[in-house]
Amino acid sequence: MHDRAYHTRQAADFTLECTIVHREEAAALEIGRVVREARESLGLRQDELALAAGVSTRLVHQIENGKPTTRLDGLVQVLGALGLTLEVAERTSRLEPRDDER
């Protein structure tokens, strides 16, 4: 997970900082790790997996490297070729809604 701090405004005696935590990056990295391990356990190269899944080698590379904006349909095809599925589950700890969302 990557935290990034951005200095957005600086006055004489105060600095406003905003830290953005990209949770989807952590999830994408974990998915990429699982895909890479499954591919390697089957003895496949990235191009062979891409051919089996009907996607580009570039897409397999992006998934394995944790690109958080990977297309869901392509990811599902790659997972299917590896005999894996994508499961959505409720988090054990959820963030409380902001005041403006209540």
Domain layout of the chain by residue ranges: 23-90
**Which residues is 19 bridged to in the sheet?**
5
Per-residue pLDDT tens digits of the chain, which is 102 residues long: 444 444 444 445 555 554 444 566 788 999 999 999 999 999 999 999 999 999 999 999 999 999 988 899 999 999 999 999 988 878 776 656 655 555
Which H or E run contains 36?
helix 23-41
Which H or E run contains 46?
helix 46-53
Q: Does domain 23-90 have CATH number 1.10.150.120?
A: no
Max distance between CA atoms of the chain, in angstroms, equals 60
DSSP assigned state of 97: P
CA distance 49 to 80: 10
